[in-house]
Structure formats: structure tokens, C-alpha cells
Amino acid sequence: MSLPLRWPRTLASRLSLIFLIGLVLAQGLSFGVQYYERYESAKNTMLGNLETDVSTSVAILDRLPAAERPAWLPKLARRNYDYVLDEGEPGMPMLPDNAPISVSSIQEALGESYALTYNQIPGPKMHYQAHLRLKDGKPLTIDVRPAMAPLSPWLPAVLLGQLALLIGCTWLAVRIAVSPLTRLARAVETLDPNAHGVRLDEKGPTEVVHAAKAFNAMQDRIAAYLKERMHLLAAISHDLQTPITRMKLRAEFMDDGIEKDKLSSDLSEMEHLVREGVAYARSIHGATEASCRISLDAFLDSLVFDYQDTGQDVQLSGNNAAVIDTRPHALRRVLVNLVDNALKFGGAAEIQVQPADGGQLAIQVLDRGPGISEEELAEVLKPFYRVESSRNRETGGTGLGLAIALQLANAMGGSLRLSNRDGGGLCAELRLGRDSACAS
């Protein structure tokens, strides 16, 4: 069973693979060319030395007395061939087509002075013998075992060192090339109009500097656009509140009746909608509020006592003596919106504080109301979305309370999540991240 080959998913791994394969192929080609050149040089040198050495050695043995020849054999022996003072080993006659190149060298060195015959010795490696007779009639056999010179023992270590160097250079080159792109991707992921944007360092290669400047300029344009929108909404709110107030004053001078009551109700709804819309626009810029350290228990006690003083059924449980660094006005607005929803649909609210995963704090606002269908849990956090379909402001609200809470939670570096409780009711959980809370 063959495993399917898959192209790497990350840019760094793809570049590393391409560079490494290219460098290894180039290194292999270079090694192959050098090895071939070494082989040719060694072969030519060996054959040249073989001709000179064989002719000299045979001449020495031919001039020596027969009794002294055995003592000279070890001196004349070489790594690939030596001399034997007998008829040699039996073998098969060597065919010209299968003859090694060293045969021609021996033939050139001795062929004019001696009658040579060759036979091949059977075995796993190339082995042949050249037979001749000295001038005194004694036999002499040249026993040849052709072989290339072995590779140097340090060559594998050098090749492994070169491969390690190639891998290191590839990793360094890919890291230098991909690092700016990684920083840009992280900056884009953390881009938040509600928070102070992290500006990219405008240093490095020309392409990196250009991308960093473009990203920083984009952040500035987004911030300027949102600021302009907030100012526009604030101005519209101010201009609308004045005529609404005048219309409410004029309605007071109208005769009592159904039309007066309807007009007053419509004006109140308009005034409430304008205020909620401006609050939502300002919540987008919740990060402009300065952070400070507060005692969470004291903060929640104050919030709960304010509700209890007005006769509302709001309870607190789960004190943990935590001190958090947060934006208190934004946090209060989030909790007020959640508690108001719980009171509106459940008649009572319970606030629980408990530690969460990753060193976070979870502030839960619980109620026993009708809850929300699973399909609408994410939708109700969107602006102007109301579960109550009658469009009645008294029962469905403006649809901005939870959207404002979500915006402010994000601005504080936290998160807001809704879920249905076992047995009925809703759980609104506000989680404060590590940068927003720390245990005292």
C-alpha cells in the first residue's frame, strides 16, 4: 500500500522543500562530476604506473638468480596485483571482449619481450592472471585483482556536514523570507477597530517596508473612518433629540385622548432608539476608556445592591477576591445589559463568578426565562435582531442591548457567549482574558 504524496500546506515548508531539493540535486550533480573526474584521473594514473611497475618488476625477477626470486616477491607486491613463481591457478581463457583495460597496459609493457597468456579466475569479483616465462624458462604469473581506489574515510562525514549546512542555510533563508509575512498575518488577525492597533515595524527589505507601510496606512484609514462615523452619529443624535423634546413638550399641551397617548408613546420610542443607536456606535470605540485596577467583588456588590435597592431580584454568588485591570464603565454597561435582559424575560437574575480555562475569569448572568432557540443564539448578538417578532419595543426592545454588550466585551479583550441552561433559562457568560484579569 503506497502512501499518497501531499504538497505541504504552509509557505515555509514549501519553500524549504523546494530549496532543499534544489540544493541537494545541485550538490549531488557536483559530487557526481567530481567523482567521475577523480575516477578518470585515478584510472589513468594507475594504468600508467602499472605499465612502468610491471615492466620493471619482471625485468628484476628475470635478472635475479632463481634462488633469490622468492625473497623479492613481497617487495614487488602491490595492492591490486602481485607475482607468483608458478603456473598460477586454473581458469577460463579470457575473451578479448571481456578483458579489463589493465590487460592492454600489461600487454603494452611486456608484449614485445614475452609471450603472454591470460585466464580469468572464477569468483564474485574480477580476478585474472597473466602467464609468461622468464628467459631461463621458469614460469611467472602476474595475479591481478582490478579495483578502484576506495573512498576516503572522511568523505561521508564531509558529505553529511555539507547536507547539514544546506539544511541550516535553507531554514535560515526561509525564516528570513517568511518572517515578515507571518508578522503581517498576525497583525491582520489581531486587527481590531475597538483597540489600539499594533503598528508594524517599517524596517527591512524594500518589499517588507512597503507592505508594512500599506498595512499601517490601512489601520489609520479604518480608525479615521470609524471616528468620523461616531462623530456623525453623535451629531445626528444631538440634532434629533432637540426636535423630539420640542414635540414632547407640544404633546403635553394637547387635549387628553388616545391620539395624545399614541404620540407620546411614539416619541418615547424614538428617543429611546436614538439613545441606543448612539450607545452602540460609542461601544465600538470602547477602547478609548482608560483602564484601571478594580476589586471585582466590590464592583459586583455595588452593581447588585443598586438593583436590590430598586426592588429587583438580583443575587450574587461566587466571590473570589480577584483584582482586574479593565475598563469599569464598559464592564458595568455589559453587565447592566445582561442583567436587564434576565430581569425582563426571567423576572430574576443571578450573577456567578468562577475561574475558567486558561487563567480566565467567567462572569455568568443566569435567569429562568424562556431561553432562546439554538438557531438564534448567535443571531441575537447582531445589531437590531430581536427574538420577539411583533416589532413591539415594549416586548422586543431595540435589538441593540446584546450587540452593545458584545462590542464592549471585545473592546475589553474578553468574549461574550450565550447558552441555554438545563431546566430552562439562559446563561450569558462574559469571559475576561489574561490581560484583563489577575488574581490578587
**Same domain? 435 vs 294:** yes
Residue 7 domain flag: no
CATH of the domain at 235: 1.10.287.130
Helix and strand element counts for the chain (H, E): 10, 13
Q: Give the whole-angstrom CA distance, residue 1 versus residue 199.
A: 51
> Residues 352, 318: contact at Cβ < 8 Å?
yes
**Same domain? 283 vs 295:** no
Structure confidence at residue 348 (pLDDT): 92
- Grid coordinates of 196: 489600539
**Same domain? 28 vs 72:** yes
**Mean pLDDT in residue range 266-286:** 69
SS (H, E, C) 142-201: EEECCCCCCCCCCHHHHHHHHHHHHHHHHHHHHHHHHHHHHHHHHHHHCCCCCCCCCCCC
> Residues 100, 129: contact at Cβ < 8 Å?
no
**Same domain? 370 vs 408:** yes
SS (H, E, C) 245-306: HHHHHHHHCCCCCHHHHHHHHHHHHHHHHHHHHHHHHHHCCHHHCCCEEEEHHHHHHHHHHH
**Same domain? 282 vs 322:** no
**Same domain? 426 vs 300:** yes
In the listed set 144, 165, 199, which residue is the last one of a domain according to the structure?
144
Residue carrying C-alpha cell 475597538? 194
pLDDT tens profile 186-217: 777 777 665 566 778 887 778 778 888 888 88
Which comes out higher in pLDDT, residue 250 or 427?
A: 427
In the listed set 226, 253, 288, which residue is the last one of a domain according to the structure?
288
Residue 99 domain flag: yes
Residue 117 domain flag: yes
* In the chain, % of residues over pLDDT 90: 6
pLDDT tens profile 94-135: 877 777 877 888 888 887 788 888 888 888 888 888 888 888
Residue 177, CB-side half-sphere exposure with 13 Å CA sphere: 13
**Mean pLDDT in residue range 339-344:** 90
- Grid coordinates of 177: 523570507
pLDDT tens profile 354-399: 888 777 888 999 998 888 888 888 888 877 676 654 334 444 455 6
**Same domain? 267 vs 298:** no
Structure confidence at residue 339 (pLDDT): 92
pLDDT tens profile 288-313: 567 788 888 888 899 999 999 989 99
> Residues 328, 402: contact at Cβ < 8 Å?
no
Residue 17 domain flag: no
> Residues 101, 47: contact at Cβ < 8 Å?
yes
Q: Give the whole-angstrom CA distance, residue 385 versus residue 379.
A: 7
* 1 — pLDDT class (breaks 50, 70, 90): very low
User: Which uninterrupted H or E stretch holds 128?
Assistant: strand 128-133
pLDDT tens profile 17-34: 887 788 788 878 887 887
Structure confidence at residue 34 (pLDDT): 76
Residue 182 domain flag: no
CATH of the domain at 139: 3.30.450
Structure confidence at residue 32 (pLDDT): 80
**Same domain? 281 vs 311:** no
Residue carrying C-alpha cell 420640542? 246
pLDDT at 40 over 80: no
Structure confidence at residue 390 (pLDDT): 37
Residue carrying C-alpha cell 454597561? 333
CATH of the domain at 375: 3.30.565.10
- Say what the pTM is: 0.48
**Same domain? 293 vs 435:** yes
The backbone torsions φ and ψ at residue 400, rounded to the nearest 5 degrees and listed phi first, read: -115, -15
Residue 183 domain flag: no
> Residues 412, 402: contact at Cβ < 8 Å?
no
Residue 220 domain flag: yes
Question: Residue 340's domain spans which residues?
Answer: 289-439
Report the residue count for the chain: 440
Amino acid identity, residue 298?
A
Number of domains forming the structure of the chain: 3
**Same domain? 261 vs 318:** no
Structure confidence at residue 350 (pLDDT): 92
**Same domain? 237 vs 372:** no
In the listed set 269, 288, 307, which residue is the last one of a domain according to the structure?
288
* 349 — pLDDT class (breaks 50, 70, 90): very high
**Same domain? 404 vs 320:** yes
Residue 10 domain flag: no
**Mean pLDDT in residue range 55-81:** 88
